[in-house]
Amino acid sequence: MEFFRVSPDVYTLNILTNCFCHLGQIDCGFSVLGKMLKLGVEPTVEGMISEAIEILDTMRKHGIEPNVITYNICIDACCKEGMLAEAKDIVDTMIKQGIEPDVVTYSVLVDGHCLQNQMDKAKSVFQLMIEKGCAPDIHSCNIMINGYCKAKRLDEAMELFDELAQNGQIPDTVTYNTLMQGMCRLGRVSTACKLLRTMLASGPVPNLVTCSILLDGLCKSGKLEEALKLFQAIQKSRLEVDIVFYNILIDGLCKAGNIETGKELFHELFVNGLKPDVYTYSIMINRFCTEGLPDEACQLFRSMEENDCLPDSFCYNIMIRGFLRNSYTSKATQLLKEMVSKGFSADISTATLFLDLILRSNNKSILI
């Protein structure tokens, strides 16, 4: 094929890899896999996992016994793709070969069930790990706590958190951040702030993620005074405030109708050597339009390119909708044409507004 300058596709190379595995030529199998990546031909995830399992079988047939690390890599790949039955088969094979699952094996399985929101099964695997004398590490516990939080089973997450100290485990920053995120998502921001105080008193040092979680939680729950105080405290600390923090706070202020303070923070960005990103501009433009200030919104929109920040599809759609909602039909149509020329398209909300405008005015030439 290469002689005739015909490029092999993923299907052809998968067959070749499979053949080499069946012939016991594992090195050649891996070589073809490397060739695929070099050519830019991406094998399917399922295909790669199947090939990895095939290679495991071939290794055993030729007297090369995979170790626990090799097995764990394959189990992890299966779990991340939701192939839990295949992962369990590999674990069963592993045990039959006299290789006991370690903390990594169990943690990977727990995570696989958590990703599928199968928390009861995840708990069973977690308990089995303990019964087998394989003590969970803090990473294993964090996986369970994260699973509980995402499943909105916060009480069980806190129960496990309380058990950590009893079992001699020390919660790390990830543990606290995960719990605070779960609390904020459920609107229990006060509880998250209380946990922060516990963290400051006896736990690890909060990081930027900790602060951004709480800042976002405070803004979304409408506690803007507390959010501003936290923001000022972060600025005074050794933590380096980035654009993410400004975006969270500006968004919170704008949604609460406090556009003036939002504008002050926006201008403060430049003073502090930071540049607004597309999301920052989108927040401000959307609020100006909502407040009936489309001209000011357009002025800000047009300043984006000067500040090395090109508008994306999301930003164009916000500005167009702002024009339409403020009866700037001609400008909306002009900007729509500009957006299309840039390779972007109207989203469902923008298209609906245009359709509604055409139906109400009975003028199909609006977009011409």
Q: CATH number of the domain that 136 lies in?
A: 1.25.40.10
- Domain-ending residue, one of 132, 149, 183: 183
Domain that holds residue 333: 275-368
pLDDT of 3 = 39
Taking 70 as the pLDDT cut, the residues of the chain under it are 1-64, 362-368
323 and 243 within one domain: no
Domain for residue 188, yes or no? no
Q: pLDDT digit string (tens) for 28-42? A: 555 555 555 445 544
Q: How many domains does the chain have?
A: 3
Number of Cβ within a 10 Å radius of residue 257: 11
pLDDT of 182 = 97
Q: pLDDT digit string (tens) for 148-197? A: 999 999 999 999 999 998 888 899 999 999 999 999 999 999 999 999 99
Q: CA-based angle 128:109:156, to the nearest 5?
A: 65
pLDDT of 4 = 37
Q: Which residues lie below 8 Å from residue 19, measured CB to CB, with a gap of 6+?
A: none
237 and 315 within one domain: no
Helices (H), the chain: 10-22, 26-39, 45-61, 68-80, 84-96, 103-115, 119-131, 138-150, 154-166, 173-185, 189-202, 208-220, 224-236, 243-255, 259-271, 278-290, 294-303, 313-325, 329-341, 348-361
250 and 279 within one domain: no
329 and 289 within one domain: yes
Domain for residue 244, yes or no? yes
The position carrying tokens 């047939």 is 61
156 and 107 within one domain: yes
Q: Are 82 and 49 in contact (CB under 8 A)?
A: no
Domain for residue 68, yes or no? no
pTM: 0.79
332 and 284 within one domain: yes
121 and 176 within one domain: yes
Domain for residue 8, yes or no? no
pLDDT of 224 = 94
pLDDT of 258 = 92
312 and 358 within one domain: yes
The one-character DSSP state at 238 is S
Domain for residue 344, yes or no? yes
**Distance (Å, whole) CA 260 – CA 267:** 11
Domain for residue 144, yes or no? yes
Domain for residue 177, yes or no? yes
280 and 368 within one domain: yes
307 and 245 within one domain: no
284 and 250 within one domain: no
pLDDT of 332 = 94
212 and 127 within one domain: no
Domain for residue 23, yes or no? no
